[in-house]
A and B are shown apart, each in its own frame.
Chain A
Amino acid sequence: MSDIRDDRQYTKTHEWVMNNGDGTFTLGITDHAQELLGDMVFVELPASGDEISAESEFCVVESVKAASGVYAPSDLEVVEVNESLEDEPELVNSSCYDDGWLVKFKSGDLGELLSSEDYQEVVDSE
């Protein structure tokens, strides 16, 4: 069983989004996603300051098995990226909800995201 936390929201494409309460949000991939991909060996991140439009692929996580895109939940501006992933991409496996976060961003309108219960349904239906 994969871990789904109720302190944050989710997308259908297996990202999680956490409201930091200071006008920024943190984004990563879910436990279900990292489990499907397997051992992570490379994470390609955008640059701080990049402006990204909703639904575009703005990070790539690569496991031994496959490369997988990470999608922007809304129009957003990247304010920080997790630089420790450059040397330790495996943090996405070992700590996908904490140390393995991908980017922090600002967004005017985050739109509708999934609650943990709704995301659980997405996972169950796969």
Chain B
Amino acid sequence: MNKTCLNSQHIELGGKMVDFGGWEMPLNYGSQIDEHHCVRNDAGMFDVSHMCVVDIKGNSSQDFLRFLIANDVKKLTSKGQALYSCMLNESGGVIDDLITYYLNDDFYRLVVNAGTTEKDLDWISKQSEEFDVSINHRKDLAMIAVQGPNAISKTYQAIPGTEEICRNLKPFHAVSIGSLFIARTGYTGEDGFEIILPEKSAEFTWKMLIDTGVKPCGLGARDTLRLEAGMSLYGSEMDDSVSPLECNLSWTVDLNDKDRKFNGKDALESLKSAGTKYTVSGLILNDKGVIRDHQKVITNQGEGEVTSGSFSPTIGKSIALARLPKESSGECNIEVRNKLLSAKIVKPPFVRNGKILV
């Protein structure tokens, strides 16, 4: 099994290690719910070094990325600016979702999912054949996400010099100095940083953050936090067979430039003119119980399916994301162990910056 460079730290901290897509990662270090609350109320951190960093360099970098992904990197005008988007296959299904950071006209950094790394790298390299770019999978880098209302101030305390370079860093932007790359992005719905750094500095930085009172958090809390934040998870809300137009990710697709060709564009345009049938919406359970993945949902427009169901520690009720027939609204029923439970259809996010929004 693959291990990140922080593996021994997780074990020392009592992390409950599980197989996550071929990576041995901590599910929690005790209580997943405590870790969740810590990120909402203070500051927590996640080892996300299993995620894959890919640097794209060369004169045709922009042209290549405008072809590779469904959002338009031409929008990225200030250095360090980030863009969330999907790579699509020819039939418009999602190969992966990713963040693209614009560093220079000839240098972009992509961060893609761990579980799809191999598939993504094959695809990216195949698509790049006609372009003058180099593709570099940065296996030498680690990534630590520090998240929560106190994440930024605690990072400043823990890592000397970061305040000077991040003071003016806007949300969804990154700054790099030497081999340290700090992005004001995340997957929790809270403010904070995703810090990309050389593997050899990761353990030291991790320990400095712990000493400053940043609590290590596992994949369990990461999942309930992203679910409350209404963020999609590859393999749950979308995959190779789902169009971004049918999973509430239309905002990550840019069809404005008629002259721009990109993978999946024709399929998106024909789906758009034929009319989409599904979307991804939020659910809050009225009854007691817990909504789980793949349960059947019955709405006023027909049947759907839960894509991510769990318990929301912040709200104290079960919540879910579900693939539902478009225009589904109001109350719905969810089939849980041969019973029908009642839920309300809502627009995600459920929680942002510590506040309940639904």
Listed stretches A18-26, A37-45, A71-79, A99-107; interface member: A37-45
In the complex, which residue of chain A has the Cβ closest to the Cβ of B292?
Answer: A67
Q: How far is the CA of A92 from the CA of B223 in the complex (A)?
A: 23
Query: Would you give the shortest CB distance from A58 to chain B, in whole angstroms?
Result: 12
A12 within 8 A of B: no
A39 CA to B16 CA in the complex, in Å? 13
- Chain B residues with CB below 8 A from A60, complex form: 337
**Bound Cα distance A40, B27 (Å):** 15
The A10-63 residues at the B interface (CB cut-off 8 A) are 38-39, 41-42, 44, 60, 62
The contact string, 1 if C-beta is below 8 Å from chain A, for chain B 269-296, is 0000000000000000000111010000
Contact B31 A39 (CB under 8 A): yes
B224 close to A62 (CB less than 8 A): no
Which residues of chain B are within 8 angstroms of A86 by Cβ–Cβ distance? 288
How many A-B pairs have beta carbons closer than 8 Å: the answer is 38
Checking A42, A64, A66, A67 against B33 with a beta-carbon cut-off of 8 angstroms, the contacting residue is A64
Residue of B nearest to A62 (CB): B290
> Which residues of A are found within 8 Å of B16, using beta-carbon distances?
38
Q: Is B149 an interface residue (CB 8 A)?
A: no
Q: How far is the CB of A77 from chain B (nearest CB, A)?
A: 22
Measured CA separation A44–B28 after assembly (Å): 25
Q: Is the CB of B288 within 8 A of A64?
A: no
A65, B289: Cβ atoms under 8 Å? no
Residues B311 and A41 in contact, CB atoms below 8 Å apart = yes
**Listed residue (B31, B32, B311) with the most chain A CB atoms within 10 angstroms of its CB:** B311
* Residues on the B chain within 8 Å of A62, using CB: 289-290, 311
Check B290 against A39 for contact (C-beta < 8 Å).
no
* Neighbouring A residues of B91 by C-beta, 8 Å: none
Contact B337 A39, beta carbon cutoff 8 Å = no
Interface centre among B32, B33, B220, B337 (most CB of A within 10 A): B33
With A64-B33, A65-B220, A67-B290 as contacts: A42 and B311 at CB distance below 8 Å: yes
Distance A62 CA – B311 CA, assembled complex (angstroms): 10
B313 interfacial contact with A, CB 8 Å: yes
User: In the complex the two chains form, is B28's CB within 8 Å of A38's CB?
Assistant: yes
B220 touches A38 (CB 8 A): yes
**Residue of chain A at shortest CB distance from B310:** A64
A42→B290 contact, CB < 8 A: yes
Residues in chain B near residue A44, CB distance under 8 A: 289
> Would you give the shortest CB distance from A2 to chain B, in whole angstroms?
13
Most-contacted residue by chain B among A41, A42, A44, A62 (CB, 10 A): A41
- The answer for the CA separation of A42 and B288 in the assembled complex, in Å, is 7
Closest residue of chain A to B221 (Cβ to Cβ) is A64
B292 touches A64 (CB 8 A): no
A39→B289 contact, CB < 8 A: no
Contact partners of B32 in chain A: CB under 8 A: 38-39, 64-65
Query: Which residues does A use to contact B, with CB under 8 Å?
Result: 38-39, 41-42, 44, 60, 62, 64-67, 86
**Given A38-B220, A42-B288, A64-B33, 4 more contacts at CB 8 Å?**
A38-B16, A39-B31, A66-B292, A86-B288
Return the 9 tightest CB-CB contacts between A and B, nearest first: A41-B311, A39-B33, A62-B290, A64-B311, A39-B32, A42-B290, A64-B32, A38-B32, A39-B31
Interface pairs (9), CB distance under 8 Å: A38-B27, A38-B28, A38-B31, A39-B33, A41-B311, A42-B289, A65-B220, A67-B290, A67-B292
